[in-house]
């Protein structure tokens, strides 16, 4: 194991440990990292000595802050297509994680956003801590939740998933469990003992039982107390009506949310709402990933992704010039265009 590698692999007892190792970049995923994780899972699936896989992040700040946004920005500006190839392999990895034949334990400690959700929340044992901040914040950069995020958020209770998809807000441990993005809360100071015990266990069937011995009740979250106005406002059919309901609710928190939405990419908001609603009817994760791939490819060639990354990550002026500048300017035809088939460039996880 070379400690300079962006993905560290080591077997301890009967556990394959996968560690994302770019702590200075909050373990942001690169194409090479996605490939390396995929190769590791292929070997682990066929290795009788491996009872389970545990994925975590190097450093103290989090598991993974998402994909390498700067690389995507530079790729889009230059008119290249490397990001599309990255998403193709990344989404296939997300599907593999969901179908992995052995326990896949995700340590969702600290920041877990975007692609970090993709390599963790599709696992079958998902652990959050008091430090966890889980989010799909794509609308802030003119993009749309991907890596199976719309599949997960569409399954959240009521309209909580729609709220999180549109706002991109980060949530803590209790809310992640409530929304179905995580399973168990384990205090961060017990993670080392938990992984040590997992390594000593030779039985995959006992993985969840071991986790349960360390799990406890998470500190109270925030979303449950706001279910009333969230479910009412986000049940609307359009982004415009959602914003109107938030403003007219008479609640300060709802009005603040409306103001927040009005600062995000109008195109991303409308496409995100359509993506979550369509995901509810698609059923399988694979079908949703196929849809997300179409949407990502269309967004990649649009104006708002480059502009959103510029404003938030590159220049950091926080004043994106969206086009169109307001939700009323985003036509139904423009939204529909994001979902059109890609011909022979389809991701193709679901056979036609």
Catalytic site positions: 67, 115, 138, 146
Report whether 22 contacts 56 (CB < 8 A): no
Cβ(106)–Cβ(125) under 8 Å?
yes
**What is the 3 state secondary structure string of the chain?**
CCCCCCEEEEEECCEEEEEECCHHHCCCECHHHHHHHHHHHHHHHHCCCCCEEEEEECCCCEEECCECHHHHHHHHHCCCCHHHHHHHHHHHHHHHHHCCCCCEEEEECEEEECHHHHCCCCCCEEEECCCCEEECCHHHHCCCCCCCHHHHHHCCCCCHHHHHHHHCCCECHHHHHHCCCCCEECCHHHHHHHHHHHHHCCCHHHHHHHHHHHCECCCCCCHHHHHHHHHHHCCCCCHHHHHHHHHHCCCHHHHHHHHHHHCCCHHHHHHHHHHHHHHHHHCCHHHHHHHHHHHHHHHHCCHHHHHHHHHHHHCCCCCCCCCCCCHHHCCHHHHHHCCCCCHHHCCCCCCC
Contact assessment for residue 10 and residue 44, using Cβ atoms and an 8 Å cutoff: no
Nearest to 163 by CA among 221, 89, 239: 239
Two tokens at 261? 């939405």
């Amino acid at each position: 194991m070379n400690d300079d590698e962006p993905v560290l692999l080591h077997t301890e007892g009967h556990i394959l440990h996968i560690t994302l190792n770019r702590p200075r970049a909050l373990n942001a995923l690169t194409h090479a990292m996605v490939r390396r994780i995929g190769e590791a899972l292929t070997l682990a699936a066929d290795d009788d000595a491996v009872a389970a896989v545990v994925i975590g992040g190097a450093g103290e700040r989090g598991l993974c802050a998402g994909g390498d946004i700067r690389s995507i920005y530079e790729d889009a500006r230059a008119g290249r297509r490397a990001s599309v190839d990255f998403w193709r392999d990344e989404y296939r990895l997300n599907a593999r994680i969901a179908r992995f034949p052995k326990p896949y334990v995700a340590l969702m400690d600290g920041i877990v956003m975007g692609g970090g959700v993709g390599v963790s929340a599709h696992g079958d044992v998902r652990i959050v801590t008091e430090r966890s901040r889980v989010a799909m914040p794509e609308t802030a950069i003119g993009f749309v939740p991907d890596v199976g995020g719309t599949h997960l958020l569409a399954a959240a209770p009521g309209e909580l998933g729609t709220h999180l998809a549109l706002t991109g807000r980060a949530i803590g441990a209790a809310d992640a469990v409530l929304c179905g993005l995580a399973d168990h809360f384990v205090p961060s100071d017990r993670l080392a003992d938990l992984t040590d015990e997992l390594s000593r266990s030779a039985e995959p069937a006992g993985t969840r039982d071991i986790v349960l011995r360390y799990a406890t009740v998470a500190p109270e979250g925030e979303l449950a107390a706001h279910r009333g106005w969230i479910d009412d406002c986000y049940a609307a059919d359009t982004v415009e009506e959602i914003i109107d309901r938030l403003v007219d609710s008479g609640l300060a928190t709802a009005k603040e949310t409306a103001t927040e939405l009005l600062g995000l990419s109008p195109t991303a908001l409308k496409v995100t709402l359509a993506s979550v609603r369509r995901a509810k009817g698609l059923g399988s994760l694979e079908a949703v990933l196929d849809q997300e791939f179409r949407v990502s490819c269309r967004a990649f060639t649009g104006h708002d992704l480059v502009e959103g990354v510029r404003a938030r990550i590159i220049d950091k002026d926080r004043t994106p010039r969206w086009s169109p500048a307001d939700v009323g300017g985003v036509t139904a035809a423009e939204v529909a265009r994001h979902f059109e088939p890609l011909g022979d460039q389809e991701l193709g996880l679901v056979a036609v």
